[in-house]
Copies of this chain bind each other. A is one copy, B any other.
């Protein structure tokens, strides 16, 4: 075996990802050393409780509760604790002591990214985070490096496996949200408290990271428009299928052209959207992730794979560890994040996309004309209308029946419209006497 320079690797956290990282480092050490050109010596694993049960058997002597002490003298620090505190302090300590940092902590990067990248830039260290955006899918290097000579126009990502699993099951089985969520929890695809996933918080963090890279702009998490999938019911899924769509929770990061006196900007948003069934994203099933990238020169690209899972995510972490080791061998300072474009993030109101509006209306002459008039005034142009007469409501008394006007369901597909115009128009529709109920308003993405 070649006599390589030895690099001290400190691991913080031994959860489902961390324990797999430790196990792979120990098992494949010689192979990784050949690839890195340096021997990767796991100096220790910092955890809160040394005796907690782990997914994988690991030598007990590696464990410590003293993360601060473990970081001292480390060449590479792998942070897999999750959460903001104390992860942030340890990452900054590692950087300031000259170590490179590998992290999968999307919450940390989405909230404290600029602070961390600045600190690394000051000392010439490097922060690697392939595992933070879409699990095992290599997306960070493609965006940061491969597409660095291009102009990304739009990213549409299925970046949360739990919600994709839920929506996919709802689509396949016609089941309701609550039932599928319970099933997902039983199978371990969803957590006991599913808020971070189903309300889109997890996807929003990833969207901020992807948009920052793609547009060379620090995107604060607060600038990401976020809607979850809890309002999606089986009737919406059915209606989508009927119209040739599937509903996916998308992270959309988009470059907006200058217009109306506004300069060029970007939009970063997470919401359930209608995706044409022929679009490559429509065939991403189960808990898988995929990131669809449209770039000016490269055209359409798609990156597909497992979005989560301990051993899958460990693959991304170890790729970063090898990169960090190679950099130590090659010398030179770490490459700083490229955020000089500094484009403003536009509010959701500036977004231009297509919509599908579903209304419950009185089934009487003139209703469609009234609605079309309101849309027209609101600068929302109609592309398609489909009207279905609904069965009369069952009421206990025969005389009550006569008072109820017959109802119809109206599904309106719009041409591209500005979100601000659209939402104001929908408010006006809701306020007219002829509209009983706005059943749903969904964006259509991926034309």
Contacts and interface: CB of A to CB of B under 8 A. Distances in A.
Contact of A149 (B297, B301, B322): B322
A315 B149 contact: yes
A321 B304 CA distance: 26
A217 to B, nearest CB: 11
Contact of A302 (B20, B141, B304): B304
Nearest to A339: B34
Contacts of A37: 335-336, 338
Contact of A145 (B148, B303, B319, B335): B319
Interface stretch (A326-334, A394-402, A437-445): A326-334
A357 interface: no
A34 B315 contact: no
Interface in A21-40: 24, 28, 31-32, 34-37
Interface centre among A137, A315, A317, A331, by most chain B C-beta atoms within 10 angstroms, is A315
A384 interface: no
Contact of A148 (B142, B318, B332): B318
Given A148-B319, A332-B331, A31 B341 contact: yes
A32 B306 contact: no
Nearest to A141: B141
A158 to B, nearest CB: 13
A295 B315 CA distance: 9
A110 B316 CA distance: 28
A379 interface: no
Interface string A331-367: 1111110101100000000000000000000000000
A127 B203 CA distance: 36
Contacts of A150: 315, 318-319
B301 A137 contact: yes
A5 interface: no
Interface string A278-306: 00100100000000000111111111111
Contacts of A321: 149
A337 to B, nearest CB: 10
Q: Classify the secondary structure of A's interface with B.
A: mixed
B146 A141 contact: yes
A145 B332 contact: no
A303 B150 CA distance: 18
Interface centre among A35, A302, A319, A336, by most chain B C-beta atoms within 10 angstroms, is A319
A326 B333 CA distance: 10
A31 B149 CA distance: 9
Interface residues of A, number: 66
A321 to B, nearest CB: 6
Given A35-B338, A333-B330, A322 B148 contact: yes
A151 B147 CA distance: 25
Contacts of A302: 302-305
A130 interface: yes
A64 interface: no
A106 interface: no
Given A145-B319, A149-B32, A280 B299 contact: no
Contacts of A336: 37
Interface in A419-434: none
A24 B138 contact: no
A335 B330 CA distance: 6
Contact of A147 (B138, B301, B309): B138
Contact of A297 (B141, B312, B331): B312
A93 interface: no
Interface in A126-174: 130, 136-138, 140-142, 145-151
Nearest to A299: B306
21 contacts: A20-B297, A24-B149, A24-B297, A28-B151, A37-B335, A37-B338, A141-B141, A148-B319, A149-B314, A149-B317, A149-B318, A149-B322, A283-B283, A297-B315, A298-B315, A300-B305, A301-B306, A303-B304, A330-B332, A331-B331, A331-B332
